[in-house]
Copies of this chain bind each other. A is one copy, B any other.
């Protein structure tokens, strides 16, 4: 009952009337093999249901695969920290197959830094690359070079419109905005929604949350045609300025029951403000499971968080490349949209 499928390359060779060297050649498309042998071997492989033994294979090939991950740098408790945890999981998996994993971080607000990261990775001659693309053009150039060198790459978090990637793991951004609007409005009589945004540097960086905001706005105009969506820009670095901006927002619109949303991971800024001002009348929804966001959720200053397992995304990316390297198998699906998790104070403690 247990196993039995012990068909080796030798069995195949014998049944096909050739040597195992020849079998190996057709299995890996290396060297010239007569059409006749190839056919026979393929047929036998099929009939016998031959499955190569990975360990034997890995043992025999002394190749040293290395996968490089290119992601934004981060401080403790920030969004990309979770991704790094996923890399750690992936590292463990890949390590079993003798594959090492490296991470090269870049400043997501600095193009030069991104270029430097790409150059460094390229120079190291990686067997595969995982990349979170924040700079469109630069990334396209980079992946083009990877393609030319036959180096497989997978996108995480967001992806670009090229076609050469092995796989993509990320959240459906538009839908996440749509969902967010649904949770925010929650069937109530909503007249106005406040979208709080981060003041961005002007240097034309791609903002990955823009699609999300579109989903949000679409939901509102479809379900609440009379509802106004108002944008307020806050400064992420200057607390005092931020508080002034929010104070003004509350003055301008005296209705205490506000519907507030942020499309990135910094909703804790709002929670902190509300806590300090002692305002408990707002309904606030944000994204991602930063520790500070969870704190706000438990505390009741944020009602819901929409989250994604960016750790799993990274781990899956590594698994995908690993499997590709070892088994020469592309992942079942190229585009993998991971689930959108709705967190509130009652289920957030069981997340992660």
Contact = CB atoms under 8 A, between A and B. Distances in A.
Interface of A: 1-3, 53-56, 58-59, 64-66, 96, 98, 100, 102, 124, 172, 175, 178-179, 182, 186, 337-344, 346-347, 350-352
A341 B344 contact: no
A340 B59 CA distance: 41
A352 B339 CA distance: 7
Contacts of A351: 339
Nearest to A341: B341
20 contacts: A1-B66, A2-B64, A2-B100, A3-B64, A55-B59, A55-B98, A59-B59, A172-B350, A175-B346, A175-B350, A178-B346, A337-B350, A339-B341, A339-B352, A340-B350, A341-B341, A341-B342, A341-B347, A342-B342, A342-B343
Contacts of A59: 53, 55-56, 59
A350 B342 contact: no
A252 B340 CA distance: 39
Given A178-B346, A339-B351, A340-B347, 9 more contacts: A2-B100, A3-B98, A3-B100, A55-B58, A175-B347, A337-B350, A339-B352, A341-B341, A341-B342
A229 B124 CA distance: 65
**Residue of A1, A56, A352 with highest tally of chain B CB at under 10 A:** A1
Nearest to A181: B346
A123 to B, nearest CB: 10
Contacts of A175: 346-347, 350
Contacts of A340: 347, 350
A332 to B, nearest CB: 11
Contacts of A2: 64-66, 100, 124
Contact of A350 (B1, B339, B344, B350): B339
A91 to B, nearest CB: 12
A102 B1 contact: yes
Nearest to A59: B55
A53 B61 CA distance: 13
A102 to B, nearest CB: 7
Contacts of A64: 2-3
Top 9 A-B pairs ranked by shortest CB distance? A55-B55, A342-B342, A2-B66, A179-B346, A340-B347, A3-B64, A55-B59, A2-B64, A3-B100
Contacts of A342: 341-344, 347
A54 to B, nearest CB: 6
A302 B94 CA distance: 42
Nearest to A327: B96
A186 B283 CA distance: 13
Contacts of A56: 55, 59
A3 B126 CA distance: 12
Nearest to A95: B51
A284 B338 CA distance: 26
Contacts of A55: 54-56, 58-59, 98
Contacts of A341: 339, 341-342, 347
Nearest to A98: B3
A175 B182 CA distance: 24
Nearest to A215: B346
Contacts of A346: 175, 178-179, 182
Contacts of A100: 2-3
